[in-house]
Amino acid sequence: MLFFWIVLGVAAVAVFVYRRVKKRRYEFPDGMCAFVLAAAVIKALGHVSISPDLPEAAFAAAFVGVSSVVLIVRRCLKKAHTFTDDVLANVVLFSVCALVESLGDVPWIYTMLAIFGLWGIVLRQYRCKELGMIEYVLGLVYMAAAVMLFRGLFGLSVLAAFGVASAVMIAVLLAYALLMFWMMK
Output 25 or 11, whichever has higher pLDDT: 11
pLDDT in tens, 13-36: 888 888 888 877 777 777 788 888
pLDDT at position 45 over 80: no
CA 94 to chain centre: 6
CA distances from 60 to 43, 48, 63, 93 (A): 11, 13, 5, 10
Residues of the chain above pLDDT 70, percent: 94
pLDDT at position 49 over 60: no
pLDDT in tens, 133-183: 888 999 999 999 999 999 999 999 999 999 999 999 999 999 999 988 887
Q: Which amino acid is at 24?
A: R
50-69 as b/e: b if 16+ CB within 10 A: eeeeeeeeebbbebbeebbe
What integer pLDDT is reported at residue 162 of this predicted model? 96
- Please state, rounded to an integer, the average pLDDT across all residues of the chain: 84
What integer pLDDT is reported at residue 179 of this predicted model? 87
What integer pLDDT is reported at residue 148 of this predicted model? 94
What integer pLDDT is reported at residue 98 of this predicted model? 82
Q: Is the dihedral of CA 125, 122, 87, 18 positive or negative?
A: negative
What integer pLDDT is reported at residue 149 of this predicted model? 93
80-93 as b/e: b if 16+ CB within 10 A: eeebebbbbbbbbb
pLDDT at position 93 over 60: yes
What integer pLDDT is reported at residue 55 of this predicted model? 73
Q: What is the pTM of this model?
A: 0.75
CA-CA distance, 107 to 182, in Å (whole number)? 37
